[in-house]
A = this chain, B = another copy of it.
Amino acid sequence: MTEYPEIFSITEDEIDLNTLVDFITLPSTGAAAIFTGMVRGSTTRHEPESGSGRTRHETAYLEYEAYTPMAEAKMKQVAAEIRARWPVVQGIAIVQRIGRLYPRTPTVLIACTAAHRDTGVFDAARYGIDRLKEIVPVWKKEVGPQGEVWVEGDYLPRPGE
């Protein structure tokens, strides 16, 4: 049984997609599905009560913080859940950038590799980002023209998660 490459990281540094994908590429890898999330500087919200039906929401930057040792432990758990569901996944990278992050900046990456693209590798990456946003202890405060406000999560982990 080969040990598959994994990287879990909470970092203040730029997320380097080239290096991360290379790290999880084996000689038998043929496909990588990668998700990155960015800071949105402007968000159009549908608000039926407003005249135009849309309002524009501006973000100057986000301030991310993490409970680092627990976040890394929960990233490992997300990877274990991915492997349980998609055993063909080879490498897994999960990275959350923290600190002050401006619009257009990648804040998070999930990447999964496999021999072929038709193995569920896309679903694996999608599952990874969904779970990260549920159980990995990271929080963000939004700073914009309207002041500072913590972004509220809504997922409540159950025992064993």
- Which residues does A use to contact B, with CB under 8 Å? 16-18, 21-22, 25-44, 103-104, 106, 115, 117, 122, 125-126, 129
Contacts and interface: CB of A to CB of B under 8 A. Distances in A.
Contact of A29 (B30, B40, B44, B125): B40
Given A34-B35, A106-B21, A117-B35, A28 B16 contact: no
A95 B62 CA distance: 32
A33 to B, nearest CB: 6
B27 A31 contact: no
Contact of A104 (B16, B27, B34, B35): B27
Nearest to A15: B18
Contacts of A33: 33-35, 122, 125
A78 to B, nearest CB: 15
A80 to B, nearest CB: 22
B21 A31 contact: no
A31 B16 CA distance: 16
